[in-house]
Structure 1
Amino acid sequence: MAKFLLQFRALFLLVLLSGSVVRTTISVGVGINYGQIANNLPSPSRVAVLLQSLSISRVKLYDADQNVLRAFSNSNVEFIVGVGNEHVPNMTDPTKAQAWVKQHVLPHLPQTKITCITVGNEVLSGNDTQLISNLVPAMKTIYDVLVSLGLNNQVNVSTAHSLTILANSFPPSSGTFKQDLMQYMEPLIEFHSQTKSPFLINAYPYFAYKSNPSEVPLDYVLFRPNQGLVDPITNLNYDNMLYAQIDAAYSAIKAMGHTDIEVKISETGWPSKGDSDEVGATPENAGIYNSNILRRIEEKQGTPMKPSVPIDVFVFALFNEDLKPGPASERNYGLFYPDGNPVYDIGLHGYLPRMSYSSAAYKTQVVHIFGFLIISFTTFLLQA
């Protein structure tokens, strides 16, 4: 009897472990970038459980992955989906733009909440002149498709920019766009103004610190207490670089005659690991940066220039992505490892199922295990 009970306990533990959860860490009100350049990530259905347990209700994709969008059906999670740079030229064709929207967006509405389409990523920072010249026409064409489908009030159209599009970023009140980009910025800013869509920037204070650690104060880029820097024109004090970058973008837009466009952070983060020459890429710094970001989001803080407009941030990224090219830091921006364990503790709490509870494999495994338990128990009774 004792031997059987030990067997029963071991097998029952196996059943429990097959559907167990990995405890992680929690916060609310933050958006997350869900990149998938990896070969070891959990399935979208498991990710949906993780994000819901973390109370993360906004997700940004770099494509319009159908498996992800289906997995989040009826989840109340809002999605930004993307048109890859390689597809931007095709989106200038109304027929192709309509086909893309009907294939990648329309089938998922309203079950999955898609609120924005980003057309390309950091296009204006590249040197592909054809791609750059196609950007705004592609955005306009996709917007026209949304209008024709009656979706323009539900789904907006934008694109995400690297801060290298700025000619000046400090002091923030002197922010301007690069002169050679003005022919593209003017119609782009007009488009945002007319469609009431956000201006998205990918802002990484980490890059500034890595490039010049002896001159850029670590406390200033990590949101730790410091004296800050004063804008001599506005006399506003900035205690962190991210807010200065946001306000520099606002100033550049204002210099073009617009104050009616909201700037949002489509990416920001800090790597937990880097190559030997990547100064500051540590779990400690990454944890400090992201936990301070989460705290300020929860406090609904605005920047010195826009104190009444809470910062809107999508943290980069959900997982470490092992197939990303470039320096080691590129593969180590994740808040979580692919197994659902946190890379560092920033005080969030959630769980990632080890196996999908609805999967056929899981059901088969459970049936087999319990079948074996019943047979074992029956054998024990017959022998008793």
Structure 2
Amino acid sequence: MASTNLHFLLKWFMLLALFSWVHFPSRALAIGVNWGRMASHPLPPAQVVQLLKANKVTKVRLFDADPDVLESLGGSDIGVIVGVPNTMLRSLNSSLKAAENWVHDNLTRYVSAGASSAVQIEYISVGDDSFLQSYGKQFYPFVVGAAANLRTALIKVELAEKIKIVIPCSYDAFLSESGLPSGGQFRTDINKTMSEVLTFLSKHRSPFFVTISPFLSFHQTKNISLDLALFKQTARPRNDSGKSYRNGFNLSYDTLVMALSSAGFPHLDVIIGQIGWPTDGAANATSSIAQDFIRGLLGHLDRSGTPLRPQTPPLETYIFSLLDEDQKSTVAGNFERHWGIFTFDGQAKYQVDLSHGSNRLVNAQNVQYLSSKWCVVNNNKGMSNLTAQASQACSTADCSALSLGGSCYNLSWPANVSYAFNSYYQQHDQRADSCAFGGLGLITTVDPSVGSCRFPIGLRSSLSAPVDRSTMFHLFISQVVTIAILSCLMRETW
């Protein structure tokens, strides 16, 4: 009788274990957000931290070590990734002293502060997608040396066990000529450095930190369908070596897994440092599609791994991004300024569950706006010089919503010029002279927004976001692209 009961109990525990394996990943779902600050008028850091806490976000990735931002995160219990900009890699690679100074200035005083004000820094990310193909060899040759020096500096202040070092890998650093995971490999031009990166990470038990971008895979190469990118049940699956791929995320992730295996590091843990879907500036970049993608992604991560790693989902996943950034480079496309879950002023664009508790996002509170005034075209003036004035406005202001597929693309002329004027006017704090445009501008208190095209009002903020100098060339190119788009729109509407 005792033997029968024991046999029954063993069968019961085996079934329970099987049920747990099928329905629950082996790791708790860890979701964070990227907090970029390349905005002409960013929300004050303290207000952003309140936004994070209100939405129960427990992890955040920064792209630099801005003291105002780090101080605002003190005592918040939010896990932080601090970024080292690409422009600092060369000096950190060549000088241990520079690395020691960086750790002292940007980590030690925040981590060692009192319990009520300490910042919970968990990782240093060395570089910002320095392997991006468009950068060539500007940055990636220095990442391993910079990482090694930073770790030595961490050891000196006894923080090496508390703070891990990661090296962000861009979405185009790995590929598959067949478009299937079985052909996954790292780009041949970075093989040597990538081998050094993987050896460093493995030696120090650090995860591999990667950007995955189903939107760019869909937008730039069309090698996956929209349904496949959005985790739709109607998507036609891809088959590869007996494994079925039903979403674009699994295709990209397992391509990386195969690349890691081919390089000799099949078991390296992975953190997804950036993944998201933009809401404006291109076809299929809308709030509703972004909502479908993020909901599909979170649901997928919560349920299962991938065909090559069925029981090992990513350690952490960081949504790109928290807020829109109107000063970002648009080399890849005008959508680059619209990755935010929230608008630049902290208002939710759609609804997702970031915290396993609510499907409702909480907006930023007590946002300080400029006056309810807009700059539009003065229809009582001659229009002969309008194109040149609009181009002038878009050379510095954000006109990305006017691009093909954007939320303001369907504005008729001269309403699209009014959008350009207003963007410039708000960026310059509603100064009267910023609505001059050779007498063609007119300040109004009547909101000119039409349908889904929002004419924004700027924020009362004296803060300006730091711009990495390595992006200045890209910013110049992005302005040229925006001018060309605006000119094309005006020719079509004329």
Q: TM-score, normalised by structure 1?
A: 0.79
The Cα of 1:227 is off from its aligned counterpart by 4.9
Task: Give the total of aligned pairs.
Answer: 323
Asked if 1:348 corresponds to 2:348, the answer is: no
Distance 1:138 1:332 in 2: 31
Gap change, CA 1:101 and 1:300, over 3 Å in 2: farther
- Unpaired runs of at least 5, structure 2: 1-28, 113-117, 353-358, 369-494
Task: Return closer, same or farther for 1:228/1:149 CA change in 2, 3 Å cut-off.
Answer: farther
1:228 CA displacement: 4.6
- Given that 2:260 and 2:266 are in contact with CA atoms closer than 8 Å, whether structure 1 keeps it comes out as yes
Q: Please tell me whether the aligned partners of residues 66 and 104 of structure 1 are also in contact (alpha carbons under 8 angstroms).
A: yes
State the Cα deviation string for residues 67-124 of structure 1 (Å, max 9, x = none): 1111111111001111100000111210000000100011110511111111111212
Q: Which residue matches 2:284?
A: 280
Aligned pairs for 1:318-329 within 5 A: 318-326=322-330, 327-329=333-335
Shift of 1:178: 1.6
Rounded Cα–Cα distance in structure 1 between residues aligned with 2:259 and 2:221: 24
Q: SS of 2:364's equivalent?
A: strand
Cα drift, residue 231 of structure 1 = 4.1
Cα distance in 1 for residues equivalent to 2:128 and 2:248: 22
User: Closer, same or farther in 2 for the Cα pair 1:244/1:95, shift >3 Å?
Assistant: same
1:82–1:118 CA contact under 8 A, matched in 2:
yes
Q: Larger deviation: 124-133 or 33-42? A: 124-133
Deviations 1:196-248 (A, max 9, x none): 111111111111211245x6311100111135534432x22111111221111
- Determine helix, strand or coil for the equivalent of 2:131: helix
Q: Report if aligned partners of 1:324, 1:331 keep a CA contact under 8 Å in 2.
A: yes
**Which residue of the partner structure matches residue 111 of structure 2?**
109
One-letter code aligned to 2:101 = A
Alignment-mate amino acid for residue 98 of structure 1:
E
Structural RMSD (CA): 1.9
Aligned counterpart for 2:100 among listed residues 98, 101, 114: 98
Matched AA of 2:344: P
The letter of the residue matching 2:196 is: P
On the 8 A contact 2:84/2:126 being kept in 1, the answer is yes
Q: Amino acid of the residue matched to residue 353 of structure 1?
A: Q
Greater mean deviation of Cα atoms: 101-110 or 336-345: 336-345
Q: Distance in 2 between matches of 1:352 and 1:167?
A: 39
Say yes or no: does 1:131 pair with 2:133: no
Matched-pair contact (CA < 8 Å) for 2:224–2:248: no
Query: Conserved in 2, the CA contact under 8 Å of 1:320 and 1:338?
Result: yes
* Structure 2 counterpart SS, 1:60: strand
Where 1:79 maps in the other structure, the secondary structure is strand
Given that residues 84 and 124 in structure 2 are in contact (C-alpha distance below 8 angstroms), is that contact kept between their aligned partners in structure 1? yes
CA apart distance, 1:302: 1.5
Q: Secondary structure at the match of 2:328?
A: coil
- The answer as to whether partners of 1:73 and 1:108 remain within 8 angstroms in 2 is yes
Q: Which amino acid aligns with 2:258?
A: S
Cα deviation code 1:169-205 (max 9, x no counterpart): 7321321112221111111110011011111111111
8 Å CA contact 2:175, 2:255 repeated in 1 = no
| Distance of aligned partners of 1:336 and 1:223 in 2 relative to their CA distance in 1, 3 Å threshold | same
**Are the counterparts in 1 of residues 32 and 317 from structure 2 also a CA contact under 8 Å?**
yes
Residue 336 (structure 1) aligned with residue 318 (structure 2): no
**Distance in 2 separating the partners of 1:284 and 1:114:** 34
The CA distance in 2 between the partners of 1:204 and 1:64, in whole Å, is 25
2:59 corresponding residue in structure 1:
58
1:35-66 alpha-carbon deviations (Å, 9 max, x no partner): 00112222111111111111110000100111
- 2:308 — aligned with what? 305
Q: Is the 8 A contact 2:71 2:110 kept in 1?
A: yes
Matches for 1:228-377 after TM superposition, within 5 Å:
228-233=236-241, 235-274=242-281, 278-297=282-301, 299-311=302-314, 312-326=316-330, 327-346=333-352, 347-354=359-366
CA distance in 2, matches of 1:140, 1:211: 35
Give the C-alpha shift of residue 135 in structure 1: 1.4
1:180 counterpart residue number: 189
Aligned to 2:219: 210
Deviation at 1:152, TM superposition (A): 1.2
- Using the TM superposition, name which of 97-106 and 261-270 deviates more: 261-270
Distance (Å, rounded) in 2 between the aligned partners of 1:284 and 1:229: 23
For 2:339, the aligned partner's letter is Y
Stretch deviating more after TM superposition (344-353 or 81-90)? 344-353
SS at match of 1:266: strand
Post-superposition Cα deviations, 1:115-134, rounded to whole Å, max 9, x if no partner, equal: 11111112122444353221
Equivalent-residue separation in structure 1 for 2:224 and 2:181 (angstroms) = 16
C-alpha distance in 2 between matches for 1:128 and 1:210: 22
Gaps of 5+ in 1: 1-27, 357-384
Aligned partners of 1:256, 1:307: CA distance in 2, in Å? Answer: 21
